Structure 1
Amino acid sequence: MNAVKYFLVVLVYVGMYLNLFGQSQTPEDCFAYTVDRNEVTFHCLDSAKIKLKLASSSVIKIWYAPDGKFQRSNESFAVINEELEEISNIQVSESASAYEIFTGPLRIRVNRKPFQLQIFDKWQKLLFGGYQDQGFQYSGTEVKAVNLLRDDEHFFGLGEKSGSLDRRGQSYKMWNSDKPCYGINEDPLYKSIPFFMSSYNYGIFFDNTYLTEFDFGASSNDYYSFSAPDGEMIFYFIFGKDYKEIINGYTQLTGKPIMPPKWALGFSQSRGMLTNEALSREIATGYRERQIPCDIIYQDIGWVEGLQNFEWWKERYQNPKQMLSDLADDGFKVVVSQDPVISQSTIQQWKEADSLGYFTTDVRTHKTYDMPWPWGGNCGVVDFTNPEVADWWGQYQQKPLDDGVKGFWTDMGEPAWSNEESTDRLYMKHHLGMHDEIHNVYGLTWDKVVTEQFEKRNPNQRVFQMTRAAYAGLQRYTFGWSGDAGNGSNVLEGWQQFENQIPVALSAGMGLIPFWATDISGYCGDIEDYDAMAELYVRWLQFGVFNPISRAHHEGNNAVEPWLFGDKAEKASKKAIELKYQLFPYLYTYAREAYDTGLPIMRAMILEYPNDPEALKAEHQFMFGQELLVAPVTKQRAKVKQVYLPAGEWINFFTGESYEGGQWIGYPVTLDDIPVFVKSGSIIPMMPVMQYIHQVQDYPITFRVYGPDDPSSFTLYEDDGVTNDYKKNIFSSTLVTNTLGNEGQKIVTVERKHEAREATPRSIIIELTIKSSPKRVSLDGQKLKLTNSKKIVESEVDQEFWSYDKNSGKLHIKFSDSDGKRKIEIQ
């Protein structure tokens, strides 16, 4: 490619797809087809071809080649499996007007003249179709798909995006951008996940890494479109009976999300200038002295002496190995930041990488691209698309791991300051292509190297890696956080940015980022009045503890430890953090479900209630798993939180008060309150509060059994929490069921269903709310003794009792966990 080509690329981006190459064209009439196992290629006039590949009966790969050449510059960065079912010898029905393919759940129709692709379900309902004869368009290098838009059609997805969950009437771009203090409708942001779902029971993954655009009816009420200025028109149609099935189909294509180590689901503390040993020890002491649970202390980029040589800054860390050891003895894990660049002032490493050709290059000079960086001076951008870079980088990043560091957060991987207007970056050349193609996947290629090198050098250990910039497929390597949220002009006015984090989180979850975090307190803005900031901090934290990964973080030296915001804020924060730890068994069970299915843990209401129109409106609350509904308070000085309860009975998690669903309720709140409701008929596993995850190994498990006499169940998942053995299905599971016997007695059973690791002796406590004290409680047919509630908690593992508190209506039954099935009967 020559300099003229690069200049034209720049003009395309600056001019927002100015038509430099003439009029847009569409495929002409199709006159023939060929079949090759699970692929059908349709031949059209002017050499155009459209290939349909049946990855399964419900997932169709669609590839439009205007020149008839099915070639791509790089294999997909996201899709790792296109053979989801064994399909061969596709039968094509041919008529004068169309070709048709029947897959079981789908009927695919290709109209011959003019060309038009339509996909129906087996009941002949049109799900997806090209708009008139304009379904596919190309102009020069630009490709575009234009599709029929129905009046009642809604769209969700695109990963981590701001604004309303419903994308209808809006347009979006995919261009990983460094947007500190981003607005509530700002676009694009840090991650590019070109996958969305329609209320017409299908999803689309547009597998193009360029600056793609999505117009969901912003331009017309008759059609929507997705397009790219270059690359291939390849997309996958994913059919599902609901959004969960569609997400599962996308997961099969792009890979399962890795599970974090168990301690990653605890609470963590960070700040921009948490970059020295003394401060790290001081924060650790502060948590333990106040008995506020915490598992992780982060170190931001200033921990390194040179960017990015992975050497501790000697003036800031007197004895880093001893620090890490001492913190580990007190239950703390340390996670450090890494950037994807090497500063020119880190002379030895920069010269090494430059001589080996490990940097991106500038096509104008054919030398290492000179990248301005927010700190450390100008840098070379490490080219992670070069296979030779991986081992080299892995050797460097292993140094702090050998010292005792437990993981990384990969920051600034856009790479930093690379926004749409940064057109000079387009002169950057990577091993696998020019920057316009690689930009959106740059962070993903880095995350891949970090994880694969970690696993190579730390066999069978789970990686902890949390990333800011990425592309579809990131779930195979990393977790995500939402970047620099908050109000930089006035931190106290960050309420809207905070509220916006809820739909951002839920959208991220639907884009296969189940393990996600917000910067609790918001990253942006100087905190000058901690008393004035206290309410916003507490409310952000009350939302943040329901993020699978919970981190308090703020820019610069703005400290955001809970005790800095006053006694009331500290008390409310401690209560919220303790709740996170109590719910760990429940959360960890859903972490496994996320691995198995791709379903998020924080779920938009529409995932659980897709046919409820009000669920679509309730985008500032969410389901936490299937059983818990969480509605964080997001308004300043709020006295009441409006909560939507879907049909059925709902129970206040804290008070036991019952509510009839199918309505919005006004829920009274104080600073301490997080509105949390349990779906009636649920069973919630819990553990005692600990100062860090599994501080006590043989802790009792409490199963809270809620609601009516209808049968209910919950399967608790457990594994060692630190190895990759979960991928080999080495785990334990316990099935708890709640039913009603023939004589009206309540029956609760506890049964080990899967035991693939050594079990720790422990107690099990069953907690129910009933109106009066039972006449009899038996375990495995033997009458249990009645005792007081305090003794239930304090008794030894092998002691078995029951107690009833008439004031709260709580019945507790304690017994030892053992192999086989335990049966409790309550008369």
Structure 2
Amino acid sequence: MKKLLAFICLCIQIVPIMGQSVLRTPHGVKVETKAACVELECFSSSIIRVKKYPLGQAPEKQSLSVTMQPKKVKYKIQEANNQVILTTSELTVLLDIIQNQVRFATKDGKELLAEKPSSTGFTSFNDAGNSTYRIRQTFLLDSDEAIYGLGQHQQGKMNQRNQTLFLQQANTEICIPLVHSIKGYALFWDNYSPTTFTDNAQGMTFDSEVGDLCDYYFVYGGGADKVVAGLRELTGQAPMFPLWTFGFWQSRERYVSQDELVGVVAKYRDLKVPLDGIIQDWRYWGEDHKDWNAVEFRNPKFPDPKKMMEEVHHLNAHAIISVWPSFGPATGIYADLKALNKLMIHETFPQDNGVKVYDTYDPIARDIYWKYMNKNMFSIGMDGWWLDATEPEHSPAKEGDLEFQTYLGSFRKVRNAFPLVSVGGVYDHQRQETSDKRVFILTRSAFAGQQRYAAQAWSGDVVSDWDVLRNQIPAALNVSLTGIPYWNSDIGGFFSGRKFPEGVKDPAFHELYVRWMQFAAFTGMMRSHGTNTPREIFMFGERGYWAFDAQEKMINLRYRLLPYIYSTSWEVTSNGGSLMRALFSDFPEDKKVTDIGDEYMFGKSILVVPVISEVKRRSLYLPEGTQWIDFWTGEKQKGGQEIIREAPIDIIPLYVKAGSIIPAGPSVQFATEKSWDDLQVRIYPGADGEFTLYEDEDDNYNYEKGKYTTVRMTWSDKDRQLTIHPRQGSYDGMLQNRNFRIVVVDNLKGLGLDNESYTVNVEYKGKKLNIKLP
């Protein structure tokens, strides 16, 4: 490290010497070494693109993930002793011409990441008649450096060191060649072909099957939040979801008729159990696989889908529908795509029925896809999209499948970007159709940048099993650390029949399901779904039975927390924030949290510790640097210690960070049933804190035009004073006056959100208020 710092100081004094091998470019420098041509390009002072390619070639590439254009950045380029140094206000990048090595350091010389010398590999490869390369690059990490990301994988690892992963999209596996380091940087390997990631004693390597160049982005932030914000700046911001999407969702594989689907919603209303969404899974198009995914209602048990949607909406609920990227040969969309040669060749589920995947990389194919969705679904009031199997499902793979020439080249070349492009096509088309309804997409696969398309990934067809439940937590956190903020899983696991053949009749399944639901209440989407057995709450018995009551308790808690969740989603949209947060994001100085993958922060205030076994207690760690208040009891605990928390079946351990301000909404049956004119504001003392309450029109894009309000609240712990600052912004129909019920959580018993002891009521009219509390 001292050697690197001394070298930087020496070079700063050297007058740049630009020879034939070192050329300035509009945003950086281009250097020809004996091995390759290397370009360093400043996208910002903290984001650097590195391109390497064989001499004499200058491949043009339009990134599918990166939307950012290079900014005008002040930088210096200097050359000495076969070294080229590029410096910005945030970073120093050193290129050793002899060793063909790029190194990254902070502006004060602290080394962040280095390529392994002479480890760039270009192996000639014939990709379906196109002369190109297999490409490879190795990087050197610190021996104790934790890295995260790479997408969603089911092996239960939080820290992604010391393993080999084959990155190719598949059901339950989301593959994103991006690592996020605990040292405060991310590296995005911008390649869409199947890629082998390896980390061992020789280094960390990305080895991609095909590519015209080695192309990666180094994003520096100094901390997890700024790294994620940098990734969003690079690949696109996450738009707001409608408020109703954060309510409770019910689904099943599958509802067999429109009467059954509407009946489920009506049953929830009769029971007065909150619900906002219902999902129609496959075969609404009919039972014959040759009619597969017709993107229209052909099944006679769905005779009037427009009426179905009207009835769902009359019940103050919303519906989304399963649409696949593959089509049976008896469908109209298949015929339209085939006539224009827009179908791919590989077999997909269901096999041996002639079902084909569309060439999503072709804009004309995406137009046809949306034409059917718009005509047969969106026009009748469908509220959103469940884009299933966006890997796309590809089995059994056959020789020649990867050689198929898509609109953007061989399928091998663009394989892993299929979900990004397919989901993006739906988002773009709906935005062109209207700005009065926000896009909402649930999808089974993802790639870097997919957050910009209002897409929420889920973990695929996982098995109902305690170990699988445990593995969902680090899977979700690693997705979040790639810049994709919203994730969820099938409550109870998709395949229940393997471990619980009696399904909902088995009390053991009830226990797993309840614990999974408790976890789901603190994810991007609280959604019940699965096969083998129904999952509706009324299938578990009646009120008074523990499994019913525990579910209802968590559903109601989710709705009470909607002001907190929706305001946090604004932080995601406006500041590149995260909803599910790895502990090191908020406690970077606490080395004990580095590899904790079974607890996390939900927003910046709530520590969530899911119960992941039949044992009704949890060993958990409270991060140091703050006090923690038990959400359920109000008991205070100091940070930096491991404790045992009893967890009866209706309790998930939750702890609130001292200094938190949490708004709680009214009890409702659906998200927009009641306005937020009488909110509880819960203060958890022990430190200063702040929170910004966000509100808008719920389900349009007027917020992009500035039509929203924020109310900032700050807490002075020393003065025990809450300051509610002047309201900022406005929108049609906004609340002019409201009541805040302020509760200070000070070792009160039996809290949750129901105990309002020591409440102070204040009327707020948008002007500043200072409230002194006892």
Q: Give the TM-score normalised by structure 1.
A: 0.84
Quote the residue 1:696 is aligned against.
Answer: 674
Partner secondary structure for residue 514 of structure 2: helix
Partner secondary structure for residue 103 of structure 2: strand
Partner secondary structure for residue 576 of structure 1: helix
Partner secondary structure for residue 810 of structure 1: coil
**Counterpart selection for 1:816 from 763, 767, 770:** 763
Give distance in 1, aligned partners of 2:406 and 2:611: 46
Task: Measure how far apart 1:638 and its partner are.
Answer: 2.6
**2:624 is equivalent to residue 639 of structure 1:** no
**2:509 is equivalent to residue 562 of structure 1:** no
Q: Residue by residue, what CA displacement relative to the aligned partner does 1:436-472 show, whole Å, maximum 9, x if unpaired?
A: 0122112222111111111222334201111112321
| 1:77-226 superposed matches below 5 A | 77-83=64-70, 85-87=71-73, 90-131=75-116, 133-140=117-124, 141-162=133-154, 163-178=156-171, 189=173, 191-217=174-200, 220=201, 222-226=202-206
Cα 1:580–1:423 change in 2 (3 A) is farther
Give distance in 1, aligned partners of 2:33 and 2:49: 18
Q: Residue by residue, what CA displacement relative to the aligned partner does 1:614-640 show, whole Å, maximum 9, x if unpaired?
A: 112321010011111010101113334
Give distance in 2, aligned partners of 1:586 and 1:324: 30
Give the partner amino acid of 2:62. Answer: E
Task: Measure how far apart 1:762 and its partner are.
Answer: 3.3
Task: Measure how far apart 1:479 and its partner are.
Answer: 2.2
**2:302 is equivalent to residue 355 of structure 1:** no
Q: Is the 8 A contact 1:58 1:106 kept in 2?
A: yes
Task: Measure how far apart 1:405 and its partner are.
Answer: 1.3
**2:636 is equivalent to residue 658 of structure 1:** yes
Partner secondary structure for residue 617 of structure 1: coil
| 1:446-465 superposed matches below 5 A | 446-465=422-441
Greater shift, 684-693 or 762-771, is seen at 762-771
**2:40 is equivalent to residue 52 of structure 1:** yes
For structure 2, the 5+ residue unaligned runs are 1-18, 125-132
Q: Is the 8 A contact 1:370 1:378 kept in 2?
A: no
Quote the residue 1:785 is aligned against.
Answer: none
Cα 1:152–1:521 change in 2 (3 A) is same
Greater shift, 399-408 or 299-308, is seen at 299-308
Quote the residue 1:615 is aligned against.
Answer: 593
Partner secondary structure for residue 118 of structure 1: strand
**2:68 is equivalent to residue 75 of structure 1:** no
Q: Residue by residue, what CA displacement relative to the aligned partner does 1:390-413 show, whole Å, maximum 9, x if unpaired?
A: 332222101212212111110012
| 1:786-805 superposed matches below 5 A | none
| 1:570-719 superposed matches below 5 A | 570-708=548-686, 710-719=687-696
Partner secondary structure for residue 700 of structure 2: coil
**2:231 is equivalent to residue 278 of structure 1:** no
Task: Measure how far apart 1:809 and its partner are.
Answer: 8.1
Task: Measure how far apart 1:267 and its partner are.
Answer: 0.6
Give distance in 2, aligned partners of 1:371 and 1:417: 6
Partner secondary structure for residue 405 of structure 1: coil
Q: Is the 8 A contact 1:297 1:332 kept in 2?
A: yes
Greater shift, 508-517 or 374-383, is seen at 374-383
Quote the residue 1:798 is aligned against.
Answer: none
Give distance in 1, aligned partners of 2:110 and 2:30: 24
Cα 1:641–1:292 change in 2 (3 A) is farther
Task: Measure how far apart 1:142 and its partner are.
Answer: 1.6
Quote the residue 2:7 is aligned against.
Answer: none
Q: Residue by residue, what CA displacement relative to the aligned partner does 1:12-40 show, whole Å, maximum 9, x if unpaired?
A: xxxxxxxxxxxxxxxxxx98200022120
Give distance in 2, aligned partners of 1:536 and 1:287: 22
Give distance in 2, aligned partners of 1:658 and 1:376: 61
Task: Measure how far apart 1:334 and its partner are.
Answer: 0.8
Q: Is the 8 A contact 2:634 2:746 kept in 1?
A: no
Q: Is the 8 A contact 1:324 1:404 kept in 2?
A: yes
Partner secondary structure for residue 682 of structure 2: strand
**2:688 is equivalent to residue 722 of structure 1:** no
Give the partner amino acid of 2:513. Answer: Y
Cα 1:38–1:747 change in 2 (3 A) is closer
Give the partner amino acid of 1:530. Answer: D
Cα 1:178–1:423 change in 2 (3 A) is farther
**Counterpart selection for 1:244 from 194, 207, 225:** 225
**Counterpart selection for 2:458 from 482, 485, 490:** 482
Q: Is the 8 A contact 2:342 2:365 kept in 1?
A: yes
Give distance in 1, aligned partners of 2:256 and 2:351: 14
**2:404 is equivalent to residue 428 of structure 1:** yes
Partner secondary structure for residue 685 of structure 1: strand
Q: Is the 8 A contact 1:160 1:504 kept in 2?
A: yes
Percent identity (aligned): 26
For structure 1, the 5+ residue unaligned runs are 1-29, 180-188, 361-368, 773-792, 794-804
Q: Is the 8 A contact 1:418 1:425 kept in 2?
A: no
Partner secondary structure for residue 214 of structure 1: strand
**Counterpart selection for 1:441 from 413, 417, 427:** 417
Q: Give the TM-score normalised by structure 2.
A: 0.90
**2:234 is equivalent to residue 253 of structure 1:** yes
Cα 1:334–1:354 change in 2 (3 A) is same
Give distance in 1, aligned partners of 2:96 and 2:304: 72
Q: Residue by residue, what CA displacement relative to the aligned partner does 1:669-723 show, whole Å, maximum 9, x if unpaired?
A: 1001111111111100110121110111354111101113x43221111111101
Give distance in 2, aligned partners of 1:377 and 1:809: 61
Task: Measure how far apart 1:314 and its partner are.
Answer: 4.0
**2:480 is equivalent to residue 504 of structure 1:** no
| 1:335-484 superposed matches below 5 A | 335-346=320-331, 348-360=332-344, 369=345, 371-374=347-350, 377-398=353-374, 399-418=376-395, 422-484=398-460
Give the partner amino acid of 2:536. Answer: E
Task: Measure how far apart 1:769 and its partner are.
Answer: 3.5
Q: Is the 8 A contact 2:247 2:671 kept in 1?
A: yes
Q: Is the 8 A contact 1:251 1:597 kept in 2?
A: no
Task: Measure how far apart 1:370 and its partner are.
Answer: 5.8
Q: Is the 8 A contact 1:651 1:679 kept in 2?
A: yes
Greater shift, 323-332 or 678-687, is seen at 323-332
Task: Measure how far apart 1:343 and its partner are.
Answer: 0.5
Q: Is the 8 A contact 1:178 1:417 kept in 2?
A: no
**2:8 is equivalent to residue 33 of structure 1:** no
Task: Measure how far apart 1:483 and its partner are.
Answer: 3.5
Task: Measure how far apart 1:822 and its partner are.
Answer: 2.6
Cα 1:819–1:150 change in 2 (3 A) is closer
**Counterpart selection for 2:208 from 228, 250, 269:** 228
Greater shift, 227-236 or 315-324, is seen at 315-324
Q: Is the 8 A contact 2:348 2:357 kept in 1?
A: no
Give distance in 1, aligned partners of 2:621 and 2:756: 26
Task: Measure how far apart 1:199 and its partner are.
Answer: 2.6
Task: Measure how far apart 1:552 and its partner are.
Answer: 0.4
Q: Is the 8 A contact 2:183 2:223 kept in 1?
A: no
Cα 1:771–1:193 change in 2 (3 A) is closer
Give distance in 1, aligned partners of 2:445 and 2:620: 34
| 1:7-26 superposed matches below 5 A | none
**2:516 is equivalent to residue 540 of structure 1:** yes
Cα 1:739–1:150 change in 2 (3 A) is closer
**Counterpart selection for 1:64 from 37, 40, 52:** 52
Give the partner amino acid of 2:27. Answer: N
Aligned length: 728
Task: Measure how far apart 1:771 and its partner are.
Answer: 8.0
Task: Measure how far apart 1:250 and its partner are.
Answer: 1.2
Q: Is the 8 A contact 2:666 2:676 kept in 1?
A: no
Partner secondary structure for residue 727 of structure 2: strand
